[in-house]
A and B are shown apart, each in its own frame.
Chain A
Amino acid sequence: MASFIIRRLIALIPVMCIVLVIVFSLVRIIPGDPATTLLGPGATQDQIEALRAQLNLDQPVILQFYHYVLGLFVGDFGYSLKTGQPVATEILQRLPATIELSVLAVIVAVIVGIPIGVLSAVRPNSMFDHVTRLVSLIGVSMPAFLLALILQLIFATSLGWLPVSGRVSPYLPIEHVTGFVILDGLLTGNVQGALSAVQHLILPTAVLAAFLAATLGRFVRNTMMDVMGEDFIRTAKAKGLRNRQVVLNHGLRNSLLPAVTIIGLKFAEMLGGAILTETIFAWPGIGRYMFEAIKNRDYPVIQGTTLVFALLFVLTSIIVDVLYGILDPRIRRKMG
């Protein structure tokens, strides 16, 4: 198992190298000079030149790339052009918010999506199948911003059940321990704050989870239907096993494997969706941080956040592979 994980980690290197090159060159072709942006109106040409030199911007692109990669190895992502703070620090400040939101969204999506898929596959072409397929297709087709808006209008503005935006009520500040507010609230005995944090999580989680739950539901249905047609299921049924048992023990277990893959694959798409969700819900995560950085031409931040996104994605796919091994003994044996 360990050697398998190590091999997967090594395979990560070329992918991250390509990502690095793409990010670096992408950022260079975005027009607008960062030094000019940083100094603002009123700066003289001399000051701009001086800052360009300080930021290595006056050097050939290859050298800039060299300096950048060198810095990455010591955890130096550079400094934000907007705030002057280290990018690594700023990312770490915002990472917990994004992780909290996206992990919860994955959990919700699994809890909702998989049962729907299973039930629909057990009775294909039934009324339940049609309705859930339609609903999940609507879920996949719904633009995230539209869903967010509708939910805000209904649950926050009209009904007043949930807060419109933010991560915790400003009147119930939570002390910073880990950066995960619910956890911090509970750790510091601030139950009210933690509750407020839970309330604040509901709408953004629902928006992020909707797409994934719908995708998952469709996917599980399809794979279940494939699996249910396999010989071993027929054998099980012929052996007189009860239908529920067959579905749960044989059908579900075998269709969970591909479902894990799809969760991993869609995770990246979900992080992308976090940009919109975080902006609309004033959620202090890295999606919004990145969008602001692109607007401000904050090169080091764009590079840093994109790398973090890519790394998260690649790590997820490794976790998926490992889970795969745990779920499927055949693959586990192959891993050796």
Chain B
Amino acid sequence: MKDVVLFLRRNTLAVVGLVILVALIGLITIGPSLTGYSPTKLDILHKLAAPSLDHWLGTDAFGRDVLTRIMYGGRATLAIGVGVVAIAFAVGVFFGMLAGFAGGWLDNLIMRIVDAILAFPALVLAIALSAAFGPSLQNAMLAVAITLAPQFARVARSQALSISVKPYVEAAISLGLPSHRILLRYIFVNGLGPLLVQSTLALGSAILQTASLGFLGLGAQPPMAEWGADVSANLQYVRGAAWVVLAPGMAILLAVLSFNLIGDSLADWFNPRRRSELE
């Protein structure tokens, strides 16, 4: 706890990120129960109304309250981010740790596949996967997760490499502990720090890329509220009613920014050399 307080006191930007994040989470958890509007119910008579006291961020082309859509859309968008990173983390870390710990041909094989996936522009792979399995939020998430997994695999592998030569791991091996136990108990637990930093930063990328897929029409399907899809669906109104595009667009920006602010500061913190500069 003391550590956390110290971290925050030394990292103004992390505080800014945390404030934005808490505000956003508050908005999407408590907001929906406070708003009187439905995110999907149409009210064509009041379409594209400018921001007012009734509709703080105006209404969209179907007369739906933009703020309400952002509240519900945030649930989807943030859930996507967390879901994607969880998948990418699980897959990437498993194979990365395995490669680093086992070494030899297995390491070679895994890392070549990782290289190959890295060689695809992430969006390209995601588009192809979405096109292959049909456009839906689940598929977009899966696609983005696959493109993010290699980064985790790389970090995990280098962690595993440096940790497996540590005396305590060598001791565990010589004691004859089973490999899966060594992997989990020693290597995974001790290498967790940098992986968590990577996760925070990846959260931002995940949201951004899913939003880009939504922008290309390959993510969430209407009438579901999702920030990226909402930007895309309303783009045609940007000249006459900028709020329907800028509001969800700014929401994406803020969410990604908050994760990046926190992740960036955490990265500094976990780096002993830089930490000394900060203190």
Please say whether the chains A and B touch (CB closer than 8 A). yes
Chain A positions near chain B (C-beta within 8 angstroms): 14-15, 18-19, 22, 26-27, 29-31, 124-125, 130, 133-134, 137-138, 140-146, 149, 153, 157, 218, 222, 225-226, 228-229, 265, 268-269, 271-276, 290-291, 294, 302, 306, 309-310, 313-314
- Once the chains bind, are A222 and B274 in contact (CB under 8 Å)? yes
Q: What are the nearest 9 A-B pairs in CB distance?
A: A272-B121, A141-B256, A272-B123, A18-B116, A141-B257, A310-B119, A146-B249, A313-B119, A29-B132
- Considering the chains assembled together, what is the distance between the CA atoms of A269 and B117 in angstroms? 12
Known A-B contacts A19-B119, A269-B122, A273-B123; the reply to A229 vs B264 at CB < 8 A is no
Asked whether B116 lies within 8 Å of A15 as measured between CB atoms, the reply is yes
In the bound assembly, the distance between CA atoms of A291 and B246 in angstroms comes to 25
Pick from A138, A145, A149: contact of B257, CB below 8 A. Answer: A138
* In the complex, B204 has a CB within 8 A of chain A: yes
Q: How far is the CA of A138 from the CA of B264 in the complex (A)?
A: 12
Q: Which residues of A contact B127 (CB under 8 A)?
A: 275, 291, 294
Interface residues of B (CB under 8 A from A): 10, 12-13, 16, 112-113, 115-125, 127-129, 131-134, 204, 208, 211-212, 215-216, 228, 231, 235, 238-239, 245-246, 249, 252-253, 256-257, 260-261, 264, 267-268, 271, 273-274, 276-278
CB pair A229 B278 closer than 8 Å: no
A30-B131, A143-B253 are known contacts. Are A225 and B261 too (CB-CB below 8 A)?
no
CB–CB B132/A226 < 8 A: no
Contact B260 A137 (CB under 8 A): yes
How far apart sit A134 and B249, CA to CA, in the bound complex (Å)?
18
Q: In the complex the two chains form, what is the Cα distance from A271 to B239 in whole Å? A: 29
**What is the distance, in angstroms, from A334's C-beta to the closest C-beta of chain B?**
19
* A138 and B13 form a contact (CB under 8 A): no
Cβ–Cβ contact B121 & A229, under 8 A: no
- Kindly list chain B residues whose C-beta atoms are within 8 Å of the C-beta of A26: 125, 128-129, 132
Tell me the complex Cα distance, A138–B228, Å.
17
**Contacts of B211 on A, CB cut-off 8 Å?**
143
Contacts of B121 in A (CB 8 A): 268-269, 271-275, 309, 313
**B128 close to A272 (CB less than 8 A):** no
Q: How many contacts between A and B, using CB within 8 angstroms?
A: 144
Apart from A137-B13, A229-B274, A268-B122: 5 A-B pairs, beta carbons within 8 A: A146-B246, A226-B274, A229-B277, A290-B124, A309-B119
Q: Which residues of A contact B231 (CB under 8 A)?
A: 143, 145-146
Given contacts A143-B208, A145-B212, A310-B119, contact A137 B257 (CB under 8 A): yes
- 19 CB-based A-B contacts, threshold 8 Å: A15-B116, A19-B116, A26-B132, A133-B13, A141-B204, A141-B253, A143-B231, A153-B238, A157-B239, A222-B274, A226-B274, A228-B277, A229-B274, A275-B121, A276-B123, A276-B215, A291-B216, A306-B120, A313-B121
Q: Once bound together, how far apart are the Cα atoms of A314 and B116, in whole Å?
A: 9
Contacts of A15 in B (CB 8 A): 112, 115-116, 119
CB <8 Å contact, B215 and A141:
no
* Bound CA–CA A157/B13 (angstroms): 34
- List residues of chain A with CB within 8 A of the CB of B273: 225-226, 229
* In the complex with contacts A144-B212, A145-B231, A268-B119, A294-B128 CB distance below 8 A: yes
